[in-house]
Amino acid sequence: TTGSLSGCSCMVDPGVNVTVNSNHTLTITNAVTNNGGTLTFENNSSLLQTTNAVNTGNIIYKRNTTTRRYDYTYWSSPVVRAPIPFTMHDLSPNTLADKYTSYNPNASWVIHFGGNVEMMPGQGYSIRGPQDFDIVTPATQLVSFVGVPNNGPISVPLVTAERFHLIGNPYPSAVYADQFILDNTANLYGTLYFWTHNTAPAGDGSGKYKYNSSDYATYNMTGSTGTGTGAISPG
């Protein structure tokens, strides 16, 4: 792409390679169908669909994050894959085996050893940086989600009232935070928390690392609070 594109539908034929470059948006009214080619979305690009059409065939959805070995990044998958599910290990294969986690409001952090669990739409997952990354100096981790792009309404069960839940954007595009809060007023108090891992993890002398709870940026209908890089956007 040389810019953002819009269309009624998108079909990729066998042997055809399509790349949506960074900062470009592919807006499609109906379905995205990959018949055997490749459809790649570079970092910071988006696939935006305006109806609840059912997609077919895999895309490659790239995202970059800046992290250290002992940093955690919160991820959510914009794709599903069958018959072999897309897993946490597929996303970050060089993460230490016991550093793939999700959050259970009743039992705190849950370890998924080896990362061999499917990343379900709308669920949030916490994955530590690759084991070969430096401890102090941040580096860019390049990841790729491979699967059928999510589209249409997606529900995430909130298992316990009055508790924090780790959820994530299930779509290959941004979500408008104000509308998300309005649509979920029956279930959420209205403040969203975003983990920024702005502060380097601190060792406690026992081999364990502690993380700064002030590294959660917040957003609600009255404004936002950033963590080192300023306020966050509702888009």
pLDDT of residue 159: 84
Q: Is the pLDDT of residue 233 over 70?
A: no
pLDDT of residue 229: 52
Residue with tokens 């279930």: 187
Q: Is the pLDDT of residue 8 over 90?
A: yes
pLDDT of residue 87: 98
Taking the chain, what is the end-to-end CA distance rounded to the nearest angstrom?
Answer: 23
Q: Determine contact, residues 100/89, Cβ cutoff 8 Å.
A: yes
Length of the chain: 235
CA neighbor of 45 nearest in space, from 10, 78, 91, 82:
78
Distances (CA, A) of 40 to 17, 36, 118: 8, 13, 21
Q: Determine contact, residues 24/5, Cβ cutoff 8 Å.
A: yes
The C-alpha R_g of the chain, in whole angstroms, comes to 18
Confidence at 20, pLDDT banded by 50, 70, 90 = very high
Q: What is the pTM of this model?
A: 0.92
Average pLDDT over every residue of 157-161 = 87
DSSP-derived secondary structure letter, 117: S
CA neighbor of 48 nearest in space, from 191, 150, 193:
150
pLDDT in tens, 125-136: 999 999 999 998
How many helices (H) and strands (E) in the chain? Answer: 2, 19
Q: Percentage of the chain surpassing pLDDT 70? A: 96
Single-letter code of the amino acid located at 94: N
- ∠37-43-48 over CA atoms, to 5°? 70
Which H helix or E strand runs over 90?
Answer: helix 88-91
Average pLDDT of the chain, as a whole number: 93
Q: Which residues pair with 194 in a beta bridge?
A: 217
Confidence at 51, pLDDT banded by 50, 70, 90 = very high
Q: Is the pLDDT of residue 235 over 50?
A: no
CA neighbor of 69 nearest in space, from 95, 101, 90, 88:
95
Q: Is the pLDDT of residue 189 over 50?
A: yes
Q: Which residues pair with 67 in a beta bridge?
A: 139
pLDDT in tens, 71-99: 999 999 999 999 999 999 999 999 999 99
